[in-house]
């Protein structure tokens, strides 16, 4: 009760100070907010919209159940989750965060998976996509595609190993659910609604999700600017440096930026060039995702019984394993082979339209592959039934 009263005093005070700083620094705050809005429009909207629509379509059409049945023998022994988790992992790895968290939230809301299974899934499915890592971070910021491939390799390694370790999370609770023979319903099974209705609802839900993401990106852009204006970041960096944290004030400062918002942090780390410390630190931050991505993911999961604290611990574990993997792999990596002459600040794309086209093509290929696989399975099943009747 006492803690609740303290929070009721602290939170409004922080919000009041936040708003006051916005009023006293309108020009800087407006520039920061505009930067966040431009980042969302140029990068996030065109790269995530096709995947969000495709993901919602596949969930509504019951594709996830087919994939679940197909990959159950792989997912269960490795990660302690049902085959449906493979769909969340695939979409999260290809399209980037927060798609993995969104899929987990949808599956949990539809009671397709249990609470324990959702927590296990979140330890390895909510990752950055290759479009951002290779294009934006590698080629765009560091000027070397090999940096992007290195970060992609280490982050995926960190995710998979984290998922394997989290297999042991909630084992007792999972056994109790199994013993009680709790049968999860299948509300996310194939919908009987007309395809036109399913498509329109999928588009509307995707746009609603993207608008929420836009709000978080702008909010954290403003928050970072406020922390910068009041000197919190430089003070914290100096303090950590004094306490013996290696890397120097500039590198630590870049890491603090990345802890809050990954794009800003990765860009500042890239200013230090392709060095062991900057590249591995960038990989760890990309693996964690930053507080902006974490907040977006928690917003999707807010309607479920998922514990944000466990999810946060999982992301920290993910970052730690990625760091260790980075130190092991770094000496064997051939940096400089993929250098690009002209560095561009975003997804190594010339415009949002080109990013949207590429994302749509990738998403279309995924949907087409799943459709062909499903069709082949149905034909095989029909052939077997006919053969048995004969």
pLDDT score recorded for residue 91: 81
Token duo for residue 362? 């990738």
101, 297 Cβ separation under 8 angstroms: yes
What's the rounded Cα separation, in Å, for the pair 145 and 166?
32
pLDDT single digits (tens) 185-208: 444 445 567 778 888 888 898 888
141, 343 Cβ separation under 8 angstroms: yes
Token duo for residue 80? 């302690």
Residues 167-195 as b/e (b if ≥16 CB within 10 A, e otherwise) read bebbeeebeebeeeeeebeeebeebeeee
Residue 162 or 336, more confident: 162
Closest-CA residue to 296 (of 64, 52, 135, 126): 126
Tell the residue number behind the tokens 């013993």, with chain if given: 179
Closest-CA residue to 88 (of 73, 171, 71, 77): 71
0.85 cut: is pTM over it? no
pLDDT single digits (tens) 14-31: 778 777 878 888 888 888
CA dihedral 278, 281, 286, 290 (to 10 degrees): -110
Residue 253 or 351, more confident: 253
Percentage with pLDDT > 70 across the chain: 78
332, 290 Cβ separation under 8 angstroms: no
Sign of dihedral through CA atoms 207, 93, 87, 84? negative
**pLDDT higher than threshold 50 for residue 342:** no
HSE-up of 345 (CA within 13 Å, CB side)? 9
44, 210 Cβ separation under 8 angstroms: yes
Structure confidence at residue 152 as a pLDDT band (50, 70, 90): very high
Tell the residue number behind the tokens 């907040």, with chain if given: 295
Q: Which of 38-47, 48-57, 333-342 has the lowest mean pLDDT?
A: 333-342
Residues 51-88 as b/e (b if ≥16 CB within 10 A, e otherwise) read bbbbbbbbbbbebbbbbbeebbeebeeebbbbbbbbbb
What's the rounded Cα separation, in Å, for the pair 81 and 83?
7
pLDDT score recorded for residue 181: 42
354, 44 Cβ separation under 8 angstroms: no
Token duo for residue 187? 């509300």
């Amino acid at each position: 009760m006492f803690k609740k009263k303290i929070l009721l005093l602290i939170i409004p005070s922080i919000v009041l100070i936040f708003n006051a700083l916005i009023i006293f620094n309108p020009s800087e705050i407006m520039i920061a907010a505009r930067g966040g809005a431009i980042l969302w429009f140029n990068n996030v909207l065109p790269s995530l919209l096709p995947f969000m629509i495709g993901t919602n379509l596949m969930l509504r059409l019951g594709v996830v159940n087919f994939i679940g049945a197909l990959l159950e023998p792989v997912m269960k022994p490795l990660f302690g989750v049902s085959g449906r988790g493979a769909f969340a992992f695939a979409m999260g790895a290809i399209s980037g965060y927060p798609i993995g968290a969104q899929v987990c939230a949808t599956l949990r809301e539809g009671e397709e998976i249990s609470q324990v299974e959702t927590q296990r899934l979140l330890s390895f499915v909510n990752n950055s996509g290759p479009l951002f890592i290779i294009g934006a971070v590698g080629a765009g910021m560091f000027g070397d595609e090999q940096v992007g491939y290195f970060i992609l390799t280490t982050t995926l390694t960190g995710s998979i190993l984290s998922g394997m370790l989290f297999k042991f999370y909630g084992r007792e609770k999972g056994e109790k659910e199994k013993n009680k023979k709790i049968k999860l319903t299948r509300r996310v099974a194939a919908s009987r609604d007309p395809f036109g209705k399913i498509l329109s609802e999928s588009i509307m839900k995707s746009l609603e999700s993207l608008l929420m993401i836009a709000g978080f990106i702008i909010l954290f852009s403003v928050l970072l600017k406020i922390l910068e204006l009041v000197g919190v970041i430089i003070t914290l960096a100096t303090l950590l440096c004094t306490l013996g944290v290696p890397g120097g004030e500039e590198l630590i400062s870049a890491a603090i930026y990345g802890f809050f918002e990954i794009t800003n942090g990765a860009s500042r780390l890239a200013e230090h060039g392709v060095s062991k410390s900057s590249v591995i630190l960038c990989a760890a931050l990309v693996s964690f995702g930053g507080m902006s991505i974490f907040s977006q993911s928690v917003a999707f999961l807010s309607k479920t019984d998922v514990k944000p604290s466990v999810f946060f611990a999982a992301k920290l574990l993910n970052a730690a394993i990625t760091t260790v993997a980075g130190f092991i792999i770094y000496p064997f990596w051939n940096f400089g082979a993929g250098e690009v002459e002209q560095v561009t600040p975003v997804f190594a794309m010339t415009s949002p339209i080109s990013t949207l086209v590429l994302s749509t093509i990738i998403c279309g290929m995924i949907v087409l592959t799943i459709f062909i696989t499903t069709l082949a399975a149905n034909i095989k099943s029909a052939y077997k039934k006919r053969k048995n009747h004969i």
